[in-house]
Structure 1
């Protein structure tokens, strides 16, 4: 199981055997159930997760309506970086949409990772840069893309996952009502 997180880290930085062993000691396994929360708004995010099995959704509550802005799947890291890094309560929610297994890394263990792994800080910088670019892309899409273009973006970002994610979650991500998503799918002839 730890080999998956080691492989993910190893795609960005080189790891020696000692560092791989160290990584296995700082990531702790956790099983979760569908609808449990990785993080609720109002709580400080204290861990980063690596999804071995299952999926999560990222959302905010706006006037009692859930607005989904992302999903996480196997092989993805999951975290609310805004809360995790600032040590401030989260304004966002992260919820499991399937039963799953994660490897969890505490804030303190991440700091150890940065110190003890030669490319640890570089890894953190690369992940931060990736998240920054993705956030800008998502913001730009909200202002410039049609609902149809946002649906096509969803298909590109999450290939093959439309069968695992409830349609009303996808419609929230796209920013339309479920009936409108059905019309978009019909127009595009995508099932």
Structure 2
């Protein structure tokens, strides 16, 4: 179970055997059910998760409607870093879309990782840079891309998830009604 976590960390930094064992001691296994919240609006995000099995969706409630802005799958970290770092209540939700397994680490243990692992701080910086670039891309896409372009971006970002994600979640992510998504998909298929 920890192999995927260690492989993911190793893409960013070198870990010796002692550091790998340390990583396995600070990340705790957590079983989750479909529709469980990883984070509910109004609560503080107190841990970072790493998805071993399952999927999550990130969304904001606007007038009782879910506005989905992202998905997480196996091999992804899951967190609302804004709430996690500031220790302020979240305005966003993260919810499990499938039964699954996470490995989670608390804020304090993550800080110890940064301090005690030779390249821990480097890992934190590289992940932060990655998340920053990803967030800027999403914001830019919302303001500059057509719905069809956003759907293409979804397909490129999540090529293996189209069969696992209900169409109404994909339409929310793209920013259109399900009927409009169907028309976009038909136009694309016709080309």
| Superposition TM-score, scaled by structure 1 size | 0.98
Cα shift at 1:155:
0.4
Q: Deviations over 1:94-122 (max 9, x none)?
A: 00001000000000110110011111111
Task: Return 181-190 or 44-53, whichever deviates more.
Answer: 181-190
Cα shift at 1:63:
1.3
Look up the SS of the partner of 1:189 in the other structure. Answer: helix
Look up the SS of the partner of 2:69 in the other structure. Answer: strand
Look up the SS of the partner of 2:82 in the other structure. Answer: helix
Answer yes or no: is 1:166 the counterpart of 2:166. yes
| C-alpha RMSD of the superposition | 0.8
Cα shift at 1:4:
1.1
Answer yes or no: is 1:185 the counterpart of 2:185. yes
Equivalent residue runs for 1:1-191 within 5 Å: 1-189=1-189
Distance 1:118 1:12 in 2: 13
How many residues align? The count is: 190
Cα shift at 1:38:
0.1
Distance 2:160 2:134 in 1: 20
Structure 1 unpaired stretches of 5+: none
Structure 2 unpaired stretches of 5+: none
Distance 2:178 2:160 in 1: 19
Distance 2:154 2:104 in 1: 27
Distance 1:170 1:44 in 2: 27
Distance 2:42 2:6 in 1: 32
